[in-house]
Amino acid sequence: MNTPSKISIVIVGAGHMGSALALGLKNSNLNISIIVIEPNPIRRASITANGICTQESIPELKNTKILLLAIPPQAFFSFTENCEKIKNYSGLVISVMAGLTISTLKKATYTTQICRAMPNISCAKLDGMTVLYYSKKTKNTNRALTNQLFSSLGKCLLLKKEYLIDSATALVGGGPAYVAYFATSLLNFATSNGFDKKSASLITTQIIRDTTTLLAENKNSPLNICKLVMTAKGTTEQAIKYFDKNKLSNLVIEGLNKACAQSKKIGEGR
């Protein structure tokens, strides 16, 4: 019987995203060895405390199957310029960095095997969403490996057009923040109307959890769920009418457009 070989991955950057990915991968069902590179000793210690191997600087990459870059896009060029070891690496590079295009990544690395991935922090809980886009020359084995990696961290979607990554950065990468922002409004309503913090938190969390179940089961548009709740001349209708009158939905779309524009701006080096 063939045992699948261990996937060796080096994750550069243990900030919010890098550590979410490292934690998720450690708890996934993959046969994987992970090394996280992080200059900050406090962050290194927190990752090590979770049983993940860390180093201050990048190791020899000879046996590394995947080099995953989770540093700020602004740090990418100085990282590649100062990293001798990346010059001898021709394996798979996965970038989760906002904005940086395949063409930019190709010029600064020494491989043709490149994937742009846009995950979100829910990957830490194996309940993430990731969209993927590959450089044309990426081998099928590397595509399959990347798909296996991110599928183990939640749901995964392949993009056919690179420009969609900027929208995905707004939508997927930022997604948990928007839901958490709305949750904060619900929480604030609850506490300002007399609920203690614990009860407000229980109610808010459960509402979001049960609505995601309804959304996943709902074959039609999410607005159908609104309609189910909005009894004619009832209470919820008053709130939704107020949201509509003040164009809350447009405001949300405009906000995400701003996030998308920022991703493009980073890509253009502005």
Ligand X SMILES: NC(=O)c1ccc[n+]([C@@H]2O[C@H](COP(=O)([O-])OP(=O)(O)OC[C@H]3O[C@@H](n4cnc5c(N)ncnc54)[C@H](OP(=O)(O)O)[C@@H]3O)[C@@H](O)[C@H]2O)c1
Which stretches of the chain bind ligand X, using CB under 6 A? Answer: 12-18, 37-40, 43, 70-73, 75, 79, 96-98, 118-121, 173
232 Cβ partners below 8 Å, 6+ apart? Answer: none
Of the two residues 145 and 266, which places its CB atom closer to ligand X in the complex? 266
Find the shortest distance in angstroms from Cβ 77 to ligand X.
Answer: 10
Find the shortest distance in angstroms from Cβ 13 to ligand X.
Answer: 3
Q: CA 149, CA 40: separation in Å to the nearest integer?
A: 26
248-252 own/partner pairs: CB under 8 Å, 24+ apart: 252/178
Q: Minimal CB distance to ligand X: which residue?
A: 15
Find the shortest distance in angstroms from Cβ 80 to ligand X.
Answer: 9
Of the two residues 15 and 269, which places its CB atom closer to ligand X in the complex? 15
The one-letter amino acid code at 197 reads: K
DSSP letter string, 231-248: -TTSSHHHHHHHHHHTTH
Of the two residues 97 and 153, which places its CB atom closer to ligand X in the complex? 97
Secondary structure (3-state) at 50 = coil
Q: Please check whether residue 129 is in contact with residue 120, taking contact to mean a CB–CB distance below 8 angstroms.
A: yes
Q: Please check whether residue 11 is in contact with residue 35, taking contact to mean a CB–CB distance below 8 angstroms.
A: yes
Find the shortest distance in angstroms from Cβ 35 to ligand X.
Answer: 12
Secondary structure (3-state) at 167 = helix
The candidate with the shortest Cα–Cα distance to 149, out of 44, 68, 216, is 68
Of the two residues 121 and 156, which places its CB atom closer to ligand X in the complex? 121
